[in-house]
Amino acid sequence: MRVSIPLIATISAVAFAQMASAANLPVKARPKAVAPAPAFSWTGCYVGVNAGGHWGQVSDPAVITNNTWFLGGGGTDLANAAAAFPNTLNPSGFAGGGQLGCNWQMSNFVIGAEGDIVGLTGNASRSTSFPVAGGGNNFVSDSAKDEWMSTLRARAGWAFDRVLLYATGGVAFAHWSFNHAYSNTFDPSGAAANISTSTTRTGWTVGGGLEYALTNNWTVRGEYLYADFGTFNNYLTHLSFAFVAGGSGFTVLHPERLRENIARAGLNYKF
């Protein structure tokens, strides 16, 4: 079978045109790889506010250090007084303030420093009485209040990306106020004793918390702190001239053991 040259030329032209058309078709681009989101970094400084509650403890064994005839009654009055003066008060209420600090992250380990100050509400008081062997009553009242607390602390913790679990500890400062009073119904002189004192104490604090990064700048936290401010001594002295020439009376030592607890939430802005 003979094939004409014109037919071969036509078939070749059609095939070449199809090949050229296929070569000009657009090639579908490969999808670009999406870079993973960078891990959150806790490094940086921050400022924030906090609010929560506090509960303090003022333990006072109250020892009668001197008694000149006044609490007599064959020892009955003295025994009743020794049982009535000791007390434990628990001032509690709202705690709110602010904090400022900085963190430094190394791999998952985070260290930092923070200072804070909070105002505290709440006053604790108690009143009691005990009888006198010869008739009448003695009245005793006590009150205590922690007005503010401030701390300077180191922080150390472990970061799980945007979650930080940490422990903290350092020095603490607090301002306390106290009142102790005594009166009776059998002293014709009407003498009464009262002492009101306040002191700013230095102590230590430890605690811990959990913090979460909402965004690259905003974090929230929950935190607990325990603080111990040692013992502050108050002396309540009662003096009466009604019974013995030159006076009679007694002195009570109030050694106030001061402790504080704070549980709070916080909101920070990280620079």
Tell me if 23 is assigned to some domain: no
Domain count, the chain: 1
- The strand pair at 137-160 and 124-131 is best described as antiparallel
> Which of the residue ranges 130-144, 186-200, 215-229 has the most confident prediction, judged by mean pLDDT?
215-229
CB burial string 131-142: b at 16+ within 10 A, e below: ebeeeeebebbb
Tell me if 1 is assigned to some domain: no
Tell me if 57 is assigned to some domain: yes
Higher pLDDT, 116 or 76: 116
| Domain hosting residue 231, numbered range | 36-270
- Section 213-217 average pLDDT: 97
pLDDT band at 40 (very low <50, low <70, confident <90, very high): very high
d(CA 131, CA 185) in angstroms, rounded, equals 10
For residue 3, the model assigns a pLDDT of 47
C-alpha of 77 from chain center: 43
Tell me if 218 is assigned to some domain: yes
For residue 239, the model assigns a pLDDT of 79
Residue 134, classed as helix, strand or coil, is coil
**CATH code of 232's domain:** 2.40.160.20
Higher pLDDT, 14 or 201: 201
Q: Which of 164, 163, 170 is nearest to 149 (CA)?
A: 170
d(CA 101, CA 117) in angstroms, rounded, equals 12
d(CA 14, CA 32) in angstroms, rounded, equals 38
Q: What is the pLDDT of residues 143-158, one digit of tens each?
A: 999 999 999 999 999 9
- Section 96-109 average pLDDT: 98
Are 258 and 233 spatial neighbours (Cβ–Cβ below 8 Å)?
no
For residue 250, the model assigns a pLDDT of 86
- Give me the sign of the Cα torsion angle 196, 202, 207, 212: positive
- Section 225-232 average pLDDT: 98
Indicate if the pLDDT at residue 185 is higher than 70. Answer: yes
- Give me the sign of the Cα torsion angle 179, 184, 185, 190: negative
In the numeric block, the tokens 């006198």 are attached to 132
d(CA 128, CA 47) in angstroms, rounded, equals 46
DSSP character string of 207-248: EEEEEEESSSSEEEEEEEEEEEEEEEEEEEEEEE-SSSTT-E
In this structure, of 100-104, 135-139, 255-259, the range with the lowest mean pLDDT score is 135-139
Tell me if 266 is assigned to some domain: yes
pLDDT band at 14 (very low <50, low <70, confident <90, very high): very low
- Section 109-129 average pLDDT: 97
In this structure, of 113-127, 204-218, 233-247, the range with the lowest mean pLDDT score is 233-247
Q: What percent of the chain has pLDDT over 70?
A: 80
48: β partners: 99, 268
Tell me if 78 is assigned to some domain: yes
- Section 203-230 average pLDDT: 98
Tell me if 31 is assigned to some domain: no
Indicate if the pLDDT at residue 53 is higher than 70. Answer: yes
Q: Give the global pTM.
A: 0.83
Residue 252, burial from CB neighbour count under 10 angstroms (0-12, 13-18, 19+): buried
Higher pLDDT, 129 or 7: 129
For residue 186, the model assigns a pLDDT of 74
Tell me if 8 is assigned to some domain: no
Residue 74, classed as helix, strand or coil, is helix
For residue 76, the model assigns a pLDDT of 79
Residues 251/256/257/263 CA torsion (nearest 10 deg): 160
